[in-house]
Amino acid sequence: MKTPPIVLKFGGTSVGDAAAIARAARIVVSTENPVVVLSAAAGVTDRLVTLARRAARGRDAEIVEELVERHVALARELGVDPAEIAEPLAELRDCARGIALLVEDSPHARDRLLACGELLMAPLFAAYLRTLGHPAVGCSSAKLGLLTDDRHGRARPQPECFERLAASMAEQKLGCGEAIAVITGFIGTTADGRITTLGRGGSDYSASLVARAIGARELQIWTDVDGIHTADPRLVPDAPRIDHLTFREASELAFSGAKVLHPQTLTPAMEHGIPVAVRDTRHPELPGTSITAELPAGAVASRVRAIAHRTGVRVLTVLSPRMLARHGFLSRIAAEFDRHSLSIDMISTSEVSISLTPDDPDADLGPIIADLEGFAEVQVVEGRAMVSVVGDRLDRDGSVVAEVLAGVAALGAPVQMISYGATRTNLAFLVPEDRVVDVVRALHQLFFAPATP
């Protein structure tokens, strides 16, 4: 039997220009039995978002032509006949024109347009691999059966997607060591064949879904950083790279704002115990960060493994002294969040109030506030940041909460909504957004500064 495939996912900057594509292709062809999942070229999805907005006002030509030219030039530079991408180029023109003609940016039309970046890149990359002498097929993940629900723009994969993906790949003899499958990230399909997208940055998630569907032996996320760091290097420039993380630690980090991985990415891989590696396309010789169920034997892990943060957090406080002690109050609030399709990040309660943070920083809270006000008083506080201190063995000696809070108190930064989950992998709390840089730096110093001899 052939060794199971490795799924390699390349992000936008890793396929951003001809040189980057050539680098990515070298990594692919030096891998045994690779299956490739790709993002759109860097910046393309952003342009498509702008295009959708403008097209809905009837103006479309400029950005369409810019994107057509960019991809045709890319093809030529790679020695690929632009005819190889004629179909997605036509799709791009048609979608933009369709939106402009109807002067309507419906969620489905928008997803079809946003999908064009990935639909262009996969066949382009596959054609380039063929010019290098490697059989390769560009595939749309929608056509391969990545089934989702119909929440356009943030679609959720359906459980049947695994079987469908596996069956259609087997049928086309992909992932079995023959032609290299080059699959679009980001894109899915509803049961009735409408294109959906998995949310911005969703190609990581697609790659994990594909890895799980085909029982990959590893999922490699190739990106423009050398792995996951102990804090965001933009805030803490000398934060070291972490060699190994457990699935629990890495998913806490991803959900807590670490930008390297799309939050949902690890779940499918984790469910099947597929090891994940975050690797640097410019430095393929480096090991990156490896993520597995357990740390490798002999690895010494500090209590705190990393500090993540996320800005733009809003707190909704629901007050009802009369109602709170009564049964059913919490479920009534939860039901409102459910009805408005909002997920909750953190909750904290007191005798007279419940505070919650919706996890989507861009969601319009107007409608849910209006409904909650039907039975309680609601206050909204904006401009908070969530800081998460993460580590599987955080609580080894029971002192970490005290140390973290003392560290923040020393800065005079007010702390709100402390949450220390049952799994004890993540201690999270809110601070005012304008204090987050200080707080992250101070905590990093506290837990990671080399001990002075």
In degrees, rounded to 5, the angle at the alpha carbon of residue 219 between the alpha carbons of residues 214 and 222 is 135
CB of 297 to ligand ASP, least distance (A): 34
| Burial (Cβ within 10 Å: 0-12, 13-18, ≥19) of residue 398 | exposed
Strands, DSSP E only, in 31-119?
34-38
Site for Mg ion in 198-217 (CB under 5 A): 201
223: DSSP letter: E
Residue 70 makes contact with ligand ASP by CB under 6 A: no
Site for ligand ASP in 160-199 (CB under 6 A): 185-186
CB of 201 to Mg ion, least distance (A): 4
- Contact window for Mg ion (CB under 5 A) among 11-19, 50-58, 330-338, 353-361: 11-19
Considering CB distances under 5 to 8 angstroms, the limit depending on partner class, which of Mg ion, ligand ASP, none binds residue 125? none
Choose which of 88, 201, 227, 358 interacts with ligand ASP (CB under 6 A).
201
Residue 11 makes contact with Mg ion by CB under 5 A: yes
Q: If we measure between CA atoms, which residue out of 79, 93, 183 comes closest to residue 141?
A: 183
Question: Checking DSSP bridges between strand 195-197 and strand 218-223, what pairing results, if any?
Answer: unpaired
Considering CB distances under 5 to 8 angstroms, the limit depending on partner class, which of ligand ASP, Mg ion, none binds residue 31? none
CB of 40 to ligand ASP, least distance (A): 4
d(CA 145, CA 268): 16
CB nearer to ligand ASP: give 266 or 295.
266
Cα 241 to Cα 211, 231, 244, 289, 346, distances in angstroms: 25, 9, 9, 7, 28
Residue with the shortest CB distance to ligand ASP? 203
- Contact window for Mg ion (CB under 5 A) among 194-202, 237-245, 278-286, 307-315: 194-202
Site for ligand ASP in 6-35 (CB under 6 A): 11-12
Residue 134 makes contact with ligand ASP by CB under 6 A: no
Q: If we measure between CA atoms, which residue out of 135, 121, 233 comes closest to residue 177?
A: 135
- Contact window for Mg ion (CB under 5 A) among 6-14, 85-93, 156-164, 173-181: 6-14
Would you say 14 and 23 are in contact if contact means Cβ atoms under 8 Å apart? yes
Would you say 356 and 337 are in contact if contact means Cβ atoms under 8 Å apart? yes
Site for ligand ASP in 91-120 (CB under 6 A): 117
One-letter amino acid for residue 39 of the chain: S
d(CA 24, CA 28): 6
Largest CA distance in the chain: 73
Question: Checking DSSP bridges between strand 276-280 and strand 6-10, what pairing results, if any?
Answer: unpaired
78: DSSP letter: T
Considering CB distances under 5 to 8 angstroms, the limit depending on partner class, which of Mg ion, ligand ASP, none binds residue 268? none
CB nearer to ligand ASP: give 40 or 333.
40
Residues forming contacts to Mg ion in the complex (CB under 5 A) are 11, 201
Residues forming contacts to ligand ASP in the complex (CB under 6 A) are 11-12, 39-40, 45, 117, 185-186, 200-203
